[in-house]
Structure 1
Amino acid sequence: EGLAPINLIVEDKFHRATPGGTGGVKTIGNYASVLMAQKIAKEKGYSDVLYLDAVEKKYLEEVSSCNIFVVKV
């Protein structure tokens, strides 16, 4: 019940959406490219993968299975 914490690994080599790609539409091909990143994360004991943007590789983009919210205090 309530919120449960998860541990994420930050990924900067694999990307969920790339410029000129199909990230703006729902296609099965959007998910195939990140299966390796998820496998590696699970093997290292992480809950999921936090992806960085494909261009600058420094901005948070998304988590593969959930939303992420960051609060700066």
Structure 2
Amino acid sequence: MPRVSAKRQITLPMDQCRQAGIEPGDEYESFVDHNGHITIIRKEAGAAEGLLKDLQPDPNLTDEDSLQDAMHDRH
């Protein structure tokens, strides 16, 4: 059974890495859900390509307005 080290490092089981296609040196994202479960996702180059292509900017909105709006949404 893998354990978390003092440095908060985790060794992933080799069979799970094979199943997920995770290789040494790969980059990943990790997320914690509302139940406290951690999900690890291997990053793939180009996976987000075109993600925002249909997003249209509002020319009337300044960077400062956008920042203030984002800060307001966080609270």
Which category describes the TM-score, using the shorter chain as reference length?
A: under 0.3
Q: Name the structure where strand makes up a greater proportion of residues.
A: 1
Q: Name the structure where helix makes up a greater proportion of residues.
A: 2
Between structure 1 and structure 2, the one with the greater Rg is 2
TM-score normalised per structure 1: 0.23
TM-score normalised per structure 2: 0.23
- Higher normalized contact order (CA 8 Å, seq sep 6+, divided by chain length): 1
